[in-house]
């Protein structure tokens, strides 16, 4: 590695401290006093009240490293750069400096601190919205040019991409400017002014270098200026480590690669003939890492609220392993490796080691009971049939806790088909009654209420599946 993630943390924190930012400690990924949020999903989430003035920050400029969980990204896991857990390098200015200094600080840190050639960097800015009566952010374009970014590397983007927040219906929000790293032509078409800017593969977003909080969204949908302006920034540690080392994906970085390798090695020895795809290995790595973080923070798997996520992730891993006939997988080794890494930065990983293992093992055991029951049930349901009806599949998923994947595999192995259309209709119908459609995530938020509502509406077990955790898109 040219530069380790450890070095990146140090360079980031030292840089902002040198520039008069007070380092504050991180918060638990489980929000302490915020029922509107499932898990802490950004550095700003625990600091929300500083932007509105409800609370006074310990200094006008702050910085820290915040572990984040984003279940909303679950469908993207296995791509180059989305993880369900990551660490965010954050910096803030409350009622102090604004666009000019924020952009200067970001550009200097990237080009001098991390020595990224500026040719590799692109910045997106808000192009304005006539419909919403919001001005284009021409100021940021000028500042990026002034600090040294070529005009052809500054990309105006619409509301959906470059206007942040509010986290709820109303509240502080504003245009943002984000920095992307060009990973090269083998990953896609080059951006030309006015053309498509491919942020899925070639250009990887590394830093939301400034959300310029300056507006307050009102209940009638209009905006008024905030009492004071603030800056919120967040950079992904894993993405910086990936791009600075010119790696193909986050799974190759120093903190994740050992986990991937342990899983690969175990898979190879448990079933040498299996052709388990790389993508599944990556999903296992991501999910087991996130589960370890959640259990370390004290989460307990359950059918409701926050406990639903670790349960869902553990069951997903078990389903993948069962599919490739790797039932004797040694999870302990993987969890210990995750703990080894994080305990360097967060002491509760070592303190809670035993609890992490105990809770995890208990969950795996209870899931094997679910699978046993569910398999007996599915066998009975399918006797003498060639099709699994949508209604039956729905019952197996919602009342018996079988993952839909599992039912699909069962059907395939037994030469049966599933009435997927009817199943989808059942799910849709069910969502309507339980108002799952309300699971909208404002900004990058996760709604705990929606999850609670979902869980409360099922009688026994609630594994309708990933669809529900991610039904909001982004
Ligand atoms: P993307 O568009 O790639 O999903 P985002 O715009 O949702 O990212 P922000 O909310 O702006 O991300 O978060 C700030 C930074 O956190 C991003 O620039 C990125 O570096 C990092 N980040 C966001 N989501 C993830 C994720 N799922 N995995 C790893 N890093 C992430
Ligand atoms: Mg995102
Ligand atoms: Mg983005
Ligand atoms: Mg962003």
CA 199 to ligand 1 center in whole angstroms: 11
Domains and CATH numbers, the chain: 5-251 (3.30.930.10), 280-469 (no CATH)
Would the pLDDT of 458 be above 60?
no
Q: Which atom of ligand 1 is nearest to the CA of 88?
A: 16
Q: Which atom of ligand 1 is nearest to the CA of 179?
A: 18
Answer yes or no: is the C-beta of 70 below 6 A from any ligand 1 atom. Answer: yes
Answer yes or no: is the C-beta of 289 below 6 A from any ligand 1 atom. Answer: no
Give the pLDDT confidence score for residue 33 in this predicted structure: 85
Going by pLDDT thresholds of 50, 70 and 90, the confidence category of residue 434 is low
> Tokens 């040694």 sit at which residue?
330
Give the pLDDT confidence score for residue 194 in this predicted structure: 87
Report the nearest-CA residue for atom 12 of ligand 1.
208
Report the nearest-CA residue for atom 10 of ligand 1.
444
What's the average model confidence in pLDDT over 393-397?
93
Task: Write out the residues surrounding ion ligand 3, Cβ under 5 A.
Answer: 205
Cross-strand pairs, 123: 154, 179
Going by pLDDT thresholds of 50, 70 and 90, the confidence category of residue 169 is confident
What's the average model confidence in pLDDT over 2-22?
98
CA 437 – CA 428 distance, rounded (Å):
9
Answer yes or no: is the C-beta of 235 below 6 A from any ligand 1 atom. Answer: yes
Going by pLDDT thresholds of 50, 70 and 90, the confidence category of residue 304 is confident
Phi, psi of 175 (to 5 degrees): -70, 155
Report the nearest-CA residue for atom 20 of ligand 1.
236
Cβ contact 276:322 at 8 Å:
no
pTM of the model: 0.88
Answer yes or no: is the C-beta of 444 below 6 A from any ligand 1 atom. Answer: yes
CA 197 to ligand 3 center in whole angstroms: 12
Phi, psi of 22 (to 5 degrees): -85, 130
Report the nearest-CA residue for atom 26 of ligand 1.
82
- 266 CB neighbour count, 10 Å cutoff: 19
Range from 143-152, 420-429, 447-456 carrying the lowest mean pLDDT: 447-456
Share of the chain above pLDDT 70, in %: 91
The residue count of the chain comes to 474
CA 328 to ligand 4 center in whole angstroms: 40
Give the pLDDT confidence score for residue 10 in this predicted structure: 98
Give the pLDDT confidence score for residue 469 in this predicted structure: 38
Answer yes or no: is the C-beta of 236 below 6 A from any ligand 1 atom. Answer: yes
Report the nearest-CA residue for atom 22 of ligand 1.
236
Helix 390-398, helix 404-413: angle, nearest 10: 130
Give the pLDDT confidence score for residue 191 in this predicted structure: 97
3-state secondary structure string, the chain? CCCCHHHHHHHHHHHHHHCCCEECCCCCCCCCCCCCCCCCCCCCHHHHHHHHCCCCCCCCEEEEEEEEECHHHHHHCCCCCCCCEEEEEEEEEECCCCHHHHHHHHHHHHHHHCCCCHHHEEEEEECCECCCCECCCHHHHHHHHHHCCCHHHEEEECHHHHEECCCCCCEEEEEEEEEEEECCHHHCCCCCCCCCCCCCCCEEEEEEEEEEEEEEECCCCCEEEEEEEEEEEEEEHHHHHHHHCCCCCHHHCCCCHHHHHHHHHHHHHHCCCCCCCHHHHHHHHHHHHHHHHHHHCCCCCCCCHHHHHHHHHHHHHHHHHHHCCCCCCCHHHHHHHHHHHHCCCCCHHHHCHHHHHHHHHHHHHHHHHHHHHHHHHHHHHHCCCCEECHHHHHHHHHCCCCCHHHHHHHHHHCCCEECHHHHHHHHHHHHHHCCHHHCCCCCCCCCHHHHHHHHHCCCCCCCCCHHHHCCCCC
User: What are the CA-CA distances from residue 8 to residues 127, 196, 204 (Å)?
Assistant: 32, 31, 17
Give the pLDDT confidence score for residue 361 in this predicted structure: 97
CA 79 to ligand 2 center in whole angstroms: 12
| Mean pLDDT of all residues belonging to the chain | 90
CA 76 to ligand 2 center in whole angstroms: 9
């Amino acid at each position: 590695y040219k530069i380790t993630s450890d070095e990146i943390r140090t360079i980031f924190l030292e840089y902002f401290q040198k520039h008069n930012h007070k380092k504050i400690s991180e918060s638990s990924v489980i929000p302490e006093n915020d029922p509107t949020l499932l898990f802490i999903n950004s550095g700003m989430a625990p600091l929300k009240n500083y932007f509105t003035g409800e609370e006074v920050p310990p200094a006008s400029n702050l910085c820290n490293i915040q572990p984040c969980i984003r279940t909303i990204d679950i469908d993207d896991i296995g791509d180059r750069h989305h993880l369900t857990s990551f660490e965010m390098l954050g910096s803030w200015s409350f009622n102090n400096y604004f666009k000019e200094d924020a952009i200067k600080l970001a550009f200097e840190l990237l080009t001098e601190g991390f020595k990224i050639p500026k040719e590799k960097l692109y910045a997106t800015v808000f192009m304005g919205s006539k419909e919403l009566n919001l001005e284009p952010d021409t100021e940021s374009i000028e500042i990026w040019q002034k600090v040294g970014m070529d005009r052809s590397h500054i990309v105006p983007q619409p509301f959906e991409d470059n206007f942040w927040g509010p986290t709820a219906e109303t509240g502080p929000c504003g245009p943002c400017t984000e920095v992307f790293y060009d990973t090269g032509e083998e990953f896609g078409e080059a951006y030309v002014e006015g053309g498509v800017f491919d942020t899925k593969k070639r250009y990887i977003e590394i830093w939301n270098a400034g959300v310029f909080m300056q507006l307050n969204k009102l209940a009638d949908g209009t905006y008024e200026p905030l009492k004071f302006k603030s800056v919120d920034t967040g950079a992904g540690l894993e993405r910086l480590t990936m791009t600075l080392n010119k790696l193909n994906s986050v799974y190759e970085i120093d903190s994740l690669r050992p986990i991937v390798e342990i899983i690969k090695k175990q898979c190879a020895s448990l079933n040498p003939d299996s052709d388990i795809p790389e993508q599944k290995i990556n999903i296992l790595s991501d999910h087991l890492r996130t589960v370890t973080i959640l259990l370390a923070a004290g989460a307990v798997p359950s059918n409701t609220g926050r406990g639903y996520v670790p349960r869902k992730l553990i069951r997903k891993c078990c389903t993948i392993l069962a599919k490739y006939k790797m039932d004797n997988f040694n999870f302990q080794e993987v969890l210990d490796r995750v703990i080894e890494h994080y305990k360097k930065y967060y002491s509760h990983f070592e303190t809670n080691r035993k609890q992490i293992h105990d809770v995890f093992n208990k969950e795996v055991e209870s899931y094997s009971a679910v699978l046993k029951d569910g398999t007996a049930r599915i066998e009975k349901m399918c006797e003498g049939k060639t099709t699994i009806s949508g209604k039956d599949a729905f019952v197996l998923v919602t009342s018996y806790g079988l993952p839909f994947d599992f039912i699909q595999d069962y059907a395939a192995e037994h030469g049966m088909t599933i009435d997927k259309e009817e199943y989808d209709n059942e799910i849709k119908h069910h969502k309507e009654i339980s108002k799952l459609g309300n699971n909208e995530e404002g900004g990058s938020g996760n709604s705990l209420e929606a999850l609670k509502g979902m869980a409360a509406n099922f009688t026994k077990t609630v594994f309708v599946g990933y669809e529900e955790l991610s039904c909001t898109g982004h």
